[in-house]
Chains A and B, each alone.
Chain A
Amino acid sequence: GDSVTQMEGPVTLSEEAFLTINCTYTATGYPSLFWYVQYPGEGLQLLLKATKADDKGSNKGFEATYRKETTSFHLEKGSVQVSDSAVYFCALISNTGNQFYFGTGTSLTVIP
């Protein structure tokens, strides 16, 4: 079945460091891919998405490119801030559109 594998955390970075959180997926057909962010004490919020191969999703300085050849959707940010401290979830929705799969989440802490 479809699945998402996400790099384990926790990740701790200094402010202005470069961030990469790896995400790979297994799916039949052409799923849509998402990154969600969960700030402490809150629900998940959509960060960015890509719906077909080679699409790049971007938002708030974060980017991720849908790579079908490597079945990956890695999250990157060039310069993290303390306010980026949160848990990040990679997710996919299946080709049939009725199954959502989340990764296990990666906790990020950015220190000043």
Chain B
Amino acid sequence: GENVEQHPSTLSVQEGDSAVIKCTYSDSASNYFPWYKQELGKRPQLIIDIRSNVGEKKDQRIAVTLNKTAKHFSLHITETQPEDSAVYFCAASVNRLAFGKGNQVVVIP
């Protein structure tokens, strides 16, 4: 089945700087790549997603890029703010949604 890996496990950034989280996946048939944000004590919520026929997608301060050849996709957060501090999960889907282990992002004021 699909195996999704995330790096790094923890990321600390100064407020205003950019954060980048990278994920790799194993199944070349995967066609949907969402990113979820989970704040402390809350449920995961979708922040952005990308499909296999698109290379990049942006939504205000967040963007996702996909490299199907290398089988990796990345989340980019620009101008980080304290409210961006959370755990971020990437996922890949080919008939079922498999998640990575998550990245703890800490934005230092």
Q: Do A and B come from one complex?
A: no
Interface residues of A (CB under 8 A from B): none
Q: Which residues of B contact A (CB under 8 A)?
A: none
